[in-house]
Amino acid sequence: MDINLLVLNVGNSRLAMGTFIAGELRQVKRILHDQQADWKGAIEEAWKQVAGLEGAAIVAASVNPVLNEALEHAVDQAAGRDVVWVGKDIELPIAVLTDEPEKTGVDRVLNVAAAYEQLETACIVVDAGTAITVDVCNDAGEFLGGAIAPGAAMMLEALHEKTAQLPRVELAVPTEPYGKTTREAILTGVYHGIRGMVKELAENYATALGQWPDIIATGGDAQQLFAGWELIHAVSPDLTLYGIALAYTNHHIKHGA
Spatial distance between the Cα atoms of 123 and 93, rounded to a whole number of angstroms: 16
By the 8 A CB rule, do 247 and 93 touch?
Answer: yes
Terminal C-alpha separation, the chain: 11
How far is C-alpha 86 from the chain's CA centre?
14
C-alpha–C-alpha distance, residues 245 and 227, integer Å: 25
- Position 1 scores a pLDDT of 61
pLDDT in tens, 186-220: 999 999 999 999 999 999 999 999 999 999 999 99
Q: Alpha-carbon distance 86 to 193, whole Å?
A: 33
Structural domains for the chain: 5-85 (3.30.420.40), 101-241 (3.30.420.40)
pLDDT in tens, 6-39: 999 999 999 999 999 999 999 999 999 999 999 9
Q: Which of 34, 107, 127, 135 is catalytic?
A: 107
Q: Is 139 a catalytic residue?
A: no
**What are the residue ranges of helices labelled H in the chain?**
39-48, 68-79, 106-119, 152-161, 182-209, 222-226, 239-255
Q: Flag residues of the chain having pLDDT under 70.
A: 1, 256-257
